[in-house]
Structure 1
């Protein structure tokens, strides 16, 4: 997308430059010939901007935007944002060009993981493109929004906007623009671990991008190579693609992408048993990401740490952990929750192998806290969603009652008008006075009866609703009280178990008792399998849940169904681990394995909705 927009800007600039001085034309040609080298392109763009008085506002805006793109290539998003916003100042009176500037800004925000700001900029771009009647621009902006939702792990919205984009660009866009959106669609399947379909889409668009071999071509090579790596079907092809991308990014001085390619190449070397090459590639990517303060530094560090642990290079692993924890204080290198969880999992291994029990325990407690926090956040979001749905239903019922009352009032007013007219006519038609009065009184009485009946019906509906809500509230409170009582009982048993284990561990200084201690620990842990007790209680509350789940997914084992039952009750990972006699890490792994079994991959929210909606 960035390369396409840059090319478009340069082509549009060409005709404007023809009317300028020879010096400007010469600078423009030099800038255009060096556009793949960000440092050189920056120099010539600054020289061009010294000629502002001779340039049209749209041309100045385009130069600022292209300058921002160069900083983006150099992984300096703050400077990129500054110049792209500067571009907006000069194109405000020209909707189509203004939309292009907003779209460039949206791309810059997305690359910096500022997704909400990127979506806002994309919407502003769409508004400007609509003003200018530029449907191709609208399609490009929809594609950018799809990319944002893809990075935000909202597959449903990502697919919605990518479909909109493809529909528009199939009619109004070029072959290349349509291929860009198909590439984004491939990224969506890639993120959902449908690597086979993603690979097929990448193979469809790569020949189109290869015609110009810009940044987008080489970025696509990165994800295409990872698909081959994940499918374990063509390591040689993955290695060739990554080497081509790395060499190209090195020549273009796009350092972040260059280090990404090198880090991915290390993964290929690991998979093919080339340990020395893997270590060299990991070290290069790790140091490179750190030097440019890339937001992807932590992701690369986690992969490298995993490699060092696998090679038993624990001293290097400890140094890496210390650097990561120090660098996390920087705003650009601050860890997000998912990355920190992956990092802590590897750190626990490193500390354990180095005999650093206190550090290992501290890291494990932080890991446990983060995982519980994620579960709490997801449960809170689910509760808000249910509350909102309930409020919407309630408001809908109120609206229906109000609508019916309004209809009755309107009917009442209309009949009153008829009565009045009959009264006037009664003065004219003396012979019909009796009949008119009788008819009007009868109609009035009937109307009043209908109104009273309607009000009574409304009153009964509201009273019945209040009664049902009260009964539901009491029932929920009763169920909650029972669950809390049972939970306290189980928690006390778990607490006693832990105290006994701690007492046994305290005797570990006596080597002679180690064998007896291990045997006693196993016996003690084996006595606390709560599944039979849990299963009986669960069937009382949700008698049809396990049967429905087994019918929908016959490949699930009894253990899988048991695990789903615990998720249905929204138990914490600690509680599930206690009930099944496994660790909290194994609980997280089991969740991932279970989603894959039922074909939902990384769709965590979709999986939770499935469990929640089953009876």
Structure 2
């Protein structure tokens, strides 16, 4: 009887396990079907699969958590994506290869929300575990992702360095699939550096390979390829076809963030081919869709839409977009980085200028100037740290060389001492000979140390002389700049005075009738000899960015208008300006009034003078 009961219990347990195994296999199949096209459904099936985690290998549990994170990433929920990707790491610690893959996924998630430093740290960890697992292909993939990170960080040199390393590793490993993916990243690098022709050629090489599976990477590549065609203005029809395919494909796999980006790109094609209403409709859809999605691409799409509205003089609508962007700029998904904000402020300045909102225009321009200075400061700091690191590595190499020599001397001395101990057993003469050798060796060692100290002192002296020379050069540059400014004003005034004196002499000549022809020729020569070209060259040396900033704030100003503002900046008199520009005093006053109207200041003379005086 007991045997029958045991058999029945065993049979029930076996059937229960079989049923669970069947359910697990069914869930795996459902995940496989929905993972590309429907991230929400795939996520639900994955959570169900985790209910059987006690029966699953740790590597499969970790992979499932990581895949959940990937689905959240596709749904533009980066915080949840990060949580589940980190949880995946807990289950793969004992498996280097799988652990490396989890770090790789986490790094990509960090990069998509512009957390580049954390992404680089995760990729460094991935490389260490790939090396531990002896997986060269994984190393190549990780270096490719590092290259992508530096590409997003606008560090082309390091991006190219890591992409070349990835290509070399993957070529050696013979993995063509990953090699084409890295080549696509290389194309992205050329694309970001506006080398659209070279980028287009590489995209055309990899697209047929990606088209075989038509996954997300294929549609991302189509987006970049289409933009190359738009920028090169050589094949709008091809760009439109690529973008429509990308739009449909991204909608099918429910990647709405990049789907709206493709709609925004289509709007550019419509505008370039004269379909203005279609362009506006597409821009509006992409703008609203990315906002509702809380997409990280919302700012990029908004800037394109603003540029379209400004180009078509729809300033009121542009102002509405500006206000909406500003009011939502602090939201996590819609937060602007420095480059986005600079592009946005450029369009805002154009809108404010046309709407006569001078104060808003000035505030936006000052903010844009501050951001540019901040970016330049960050770049300079990075370069300084890189130079410091190079210098420290050089010092460490010198220390290693000295240490190696000292070790060699130490080994040599120990060998000699051993020889002395052995030879001392023999005869006294041999001991004297060995003592003489030691004395000579120590003297050489002392000489070497003295030479080393002397070399270090010479290096220190050379460094001090270099620092002194650099300080003198800096002072000399400042002195030269000040002299140039004085020279500019002095020479301009002298030219103006000389021309006025010549004109006075002509007007006061004794016999006007007989010298009328000669006087007219001299006046004609004076009128043609416009000294503005000389003045402009000298002015740019003293105030290199004044004219550039003025052009960015007021794009409708002509070169002649900018020249006039430069002379106002130097506080030249009406007579001096008239002489330099070859016009009358009355025309100078008239030109001031015309400039105020172009800048949207009307008769506000005080604001006009304040703008010229404070702009640097």
Structure 1 gaps, min length 5: 1-16, 428-432, 497-521, 535-573, 590-615
CA-based RMSD: 3.7
1:458 aligns with 452
**Separation (CA, whole Å) in 2 of partners of 1:248 and 1:149:** 28
1:596 aligns with none
Query: Displacement of 1:191 after TM fit?
Result: 1.9
Q: Does the residue aligned with 2:294 lie in a helix, a strand or coil?
A: coil
Task: Report the more deviating stretch, 43-52 or 333-342.
Answer: 43-52
**Separation (CA, whole Å) in 2 of partners of 1:198 and 1:134:** 30
1:23 aligns with 23
Task: Report the more deviating stretch, 110-119 or 44-53.
Answer: 44-53
Q: Is the 8 A contact 1:125 1:141 kept in 2?
A: yes
Task: Report the more deviating stretch, 166-175 or 51-60.
Answer: 166-175
- Match of residue 577, structure 1, among 545, 555, 559: 545
Please show how residues 300-319 of structure 1 align to structure 2 within 5 Å.
Answer: 300-319=301-320
Seen in structure 2, the aligned counterparts of structure 1 residues 144 and 482 have a Cα distance that, compared at 3 Å, is closer
1:107 aligns with 108
**Separation (CA, whole Å) in 1 of partners of 2:91 and 2:393:** 45
Q: Is the 8 A contact 1:136 1:168 kept in 2?
A: yes
**Separation (CA, whole Å) in 1 of partners of 2:426 and 2:384:** 63
**Separation (CA, whole Å) in 1 of partners of 2:387 and 2:158:** 20
**Separation (CA, whole Å) in 1 of partners of 2:18 and 2:218:** 30
1:338 aligns with 2:345: no
Query: Displacement of 1:209 after TM fit?
Result: 2.1
**Separation (CA, whole Å) in 2 of partners of 1:240 and 1:37:** 25
Task: Report the more deviating stretch, 471-480 or 339-348.
Answer: 471-480
Q: Is the 8 A contact 2:39 2:74 kept in 1?
A: yes
**Separation (CA, whole Å) in 1 of partners of 2:267 and 2:45:** 36
Q: Is the 8 A contact 1:202 1:224 kept in 2?
A: yes
Residue deviations 1:538-575 (CA, integer Å, cap 9, x gap): xxxxxxxxxxxxxxxxxxxxxxxxxxxxxxxxxxxx94
Seen in structure 2, the aligned counterparts of structure 1 residues 478 and 419 have a Cα distance that, compared at 3 Å, is same
Residue deviations 1:495-537 (CA, integer Å, cap 9, x gap): 99xxxxxxxxxxxxxxxxxxxxxxxxx98997474379x6xxx
Query: Displacement of 1:350 after TM fit?
Result: 0.7
Seen in structure 2, the aligned counterparts of structure 1 residues 472 and 142 have a Cα distance that, compared at 3 Å, is closer
Query: Displacement of 1:167 after TM fit?
Result: 4.0
Query: Displacement of 1:337 after TM fit?
Result: 1.5
**Separation (CA, whole Å) in 1 of partners of 2:435 and 2:129:** 64
Q: TM-score, normalised by structure 1?
A: 0.71
1:33 aligns with 2:33: yes
Q: Does the residue aligned with 1:530 lie in a helix, a strand or coil?
A: helix
Seen in structure 2, the aligned counterparts of structure 1 residues 312 and 125 have a Cα distance that, compared at 3 Å, is same
1:237 aligns with 238
**Separation (CA, whole Å) in 1 of partners of 2:172 and 2:120:** 24
Seen in structure 2, the aligned counterparts of structure 1 residues 329 and 491 have a Cα distance that, compared at 3 Å, is farther
Q: Does the residue aligned with 2:464 lie in a helix, a strand or coil?
A: helix
**Separation (CA, whole Å) in 2 of partners of 1:198 and 1:69:** 28
Please show how residues 525-564 of structure 1 align to structure 2 within 5 Å.
Answer: 527=535, 529-530=537-538
Query: Displacement of 1:240 after TM fit?
Result: 0.9
Query: Displacement of 1:408 after TM fit?
Result: 5.6
Seen in structure 2, the aligned counterparts of structure 1 residues 399 and 100 have a Cα distance that, compared at 3 Å, is closer
Q: Does the residue aligned with 1:257 lie in a helix, a strand or coil?
A: helix
Structure with greater Cα Rg: 2
**Separation (CA, whole Å) in 1 of partners of 2:487 and 2:471:** 24
Please show how residues 280-295 of structure 1 align to structure 2 within 5 Å.
Answer: 280-295=281-296
**Separation (CA, whole Å) in 2 of partners of 1:52 and 1:419:** 71
Task: Report the more deviating stretch, 275-284 or 439-448.
Answer: 439-448
2:470 aligns with 476
Q: Is the 8 A contact 2:488 2:539 kept in 1?
A: no
2:461 aligns with 467
Residue deviations 1:240-290 (CA, integer Å, cap 9, x gap): 111111122223321101111011111111221211111111111111111
Seen in structure 2, the aligned counterparts of structure 1 residues 275 and 396 have a Cα distance that, compared at 3 Å, is same
Q: Is the 8 A contact 2:58 2:92 kept in 1?
A: yes
Query: Displacement of 1:352 after TM fit?
Result: 0.4
1:560 aligns with none
1:119 aligns with 120
Query: Displacement of 1:582 after TM fit?
Result: 4.5
Q: Does the residue aligned with 2:347 lie in a helix, a strand or coil?
A: helix
2:581 aligns with none
Q: Does the residue aligned with 1:330 lie in a helix, a strand or coil?
A: coil
Query: Displacement of 1:106 after TM fit?
Result: 2.3
Seen in structure 2, the aligned counterparts of structure 1 residues 384 and 525 have a Cα distance that, compared at 3 Å, is farther
Seen in structure 2, the aligned counterparts of structure 1 residues 334 and 489 have a Cα distance that, compared at 3 Å, is farther
Query: Displacement of 1:118 after TM fit?
Result: 2.4
Seen in structure 2, the aligned counterparts of structure 1 residues 34 and 445 have a Cα distance that, compared at 3 Å, is closer
Task: Report the more deviating stretch, 485-494 or 343-352.
Answer: 485-494
Residue deviations 1:358-405 (CA, integer Å, cap 9, x gap): 111111111222222223333333344444444544555565556556
Query: Displacement of 1:90 after TM fit?
Result: 2.9
Q: Is the 8 A contact 2:488 2:538 kept in 1?
A: no
1:267 aligns with 268
1:299 aligns with 300
Seen in structure 2, the aligned counterparts of structure 1 residues 25 and 406 have a Cα distance that, compared at 3 Å, is closer
Structure 2 gaps, min length 5: 1-16, 491-529, 556-616
2:10 aligns with none
Task: Report the more deviating stretch, 115-124 or 450-459.
Answer: 450-459
Residue deviations 1:400-440 (CA, integer Å, cap 9, x gap): 5565566566656666666676665444xxxxx5x975x56
Seen in structure 2, the aligned counterparts of structure 1 residues 388 and 75 have a Cα distance that, compared at 3 Å, is closer
1:150 aligns with 151
